[in-house]
Structure 1
Amino acid sequence: MIAMFGKFVKGVAIGVGLSVAATVAQADVITGLKPASPQPAASALKPGLAVQYYGAKLNSIREFIEWMEYDKGKAGPPIPQLNYQVGQGPVLTATATDMVGADITGFINFERSGPYTFMVHSNDGVRLTIGDKMIYEDPEVHADRFSDEITLEISEPGWYPVRVLYFEKKNTSTLELYWDPPGPEEVDYVPTKAFAHIGK
């Protein structure tokens, strides 16, 4: 697994001209994640993840959380997939190119039980929570960089709550989520079919 992700990350780093490659290390397996209870009805689910945008000059996820206590933000178009490395263009599905905070919520579907290994590629700050557990945080302003491997042991298939807090301060923006699910699939972006949110 480490070799597979390491080869993948090295290839991506070379492809986009990153000056520093990620350090890939085997982390402890995260267990005890809780699926949504009750499970959302199929008729209520809409594709992608819901997002609330905030216009703010932020330096950390902590500042973003404090900002959200006083600002309700504005709903944006759903995010189909976390596969954004857009340089100086619009941040995610927003129209702004700088000073954007995004509170991204919905569900991620684990079709079968077993180990799922994730990696996060971000610029700037990010916090990822799945099944009521924070599984990754890189909370402050930084250039493009990958997380280490994050392995989740999923004991029960189904839809799990997912929340991503993310902000971009200025210049370039990146938010990508990769996984290696159990089975023959190779490392890739978490697919669009794995994300959903409750539609209005």
Structure 2
Amino acid sequence: MDDGMSEYLGIFLDELEEQLQILDERLLLLERDPADSGTIGIVFRAAHTLKGSSAAMGFGRIKELTHQMENLFELMRSGRLAPNASLMNALFRSVDEIKTMKAAIQAGEGDEGRDIRDLLRQLADHAREAADAEEREPRKPAADEGEPAPDEGELVLDGFHRKAIYHAWDQKLNALRVLIRFASDESFAYARALVVHRTLEEMGEVIASFPS
């Protein structure tokens, strides 16, 4: 690993361990109650966080796996995919695989040695089933079809994020939008952003971030 990135490895591994614990605990809850939207939102954010941090650190296998997991959680979150035994088994297997890759990274081996092609295919098959089912359903006109698309780089909040903000306000808490800018010639902007993200998580709940 590049010397400039190695200083961030400890932070990444701490983040990885924390998000893996969340996935472990929340997937068990999701298995018991597949309709729990709160749990689905939490596992989506965990996968989303790991996708971004692993990409920043150059761990491509973890990034690929968490990207597929994030896609599936997004399908669940939007009601286009219902968790079943086969899907849950694939997700639990994915978490176990990430744990194995974490151990390899700690041993200085990186994550490149793991063959996750079969697992990626399984996850992609579940996403494809949801897409096929959606194609068979009659198309409904989009309510906001005429609205302009958001500008590139704009943070767009969905219903889940807005609900979290409203809940914070109900609890007399503040909801803040934080904008961080790095110098255009910053070599490790994403890695430094990871440090900022980690610091913000210690101060409160990060509801959403862009880029991921």
Question: Which TM-score applies when normalising by structure 1?
Answer: 0.25
Mark the structure with the bigger radius of gyration.
2
Larger relative contact order (Cα-Cα within 8 Å, sequence gap ≥ 6)? 1
More strand by share: 1
The TM-score with structure 2 as length reference comes to: 0.24
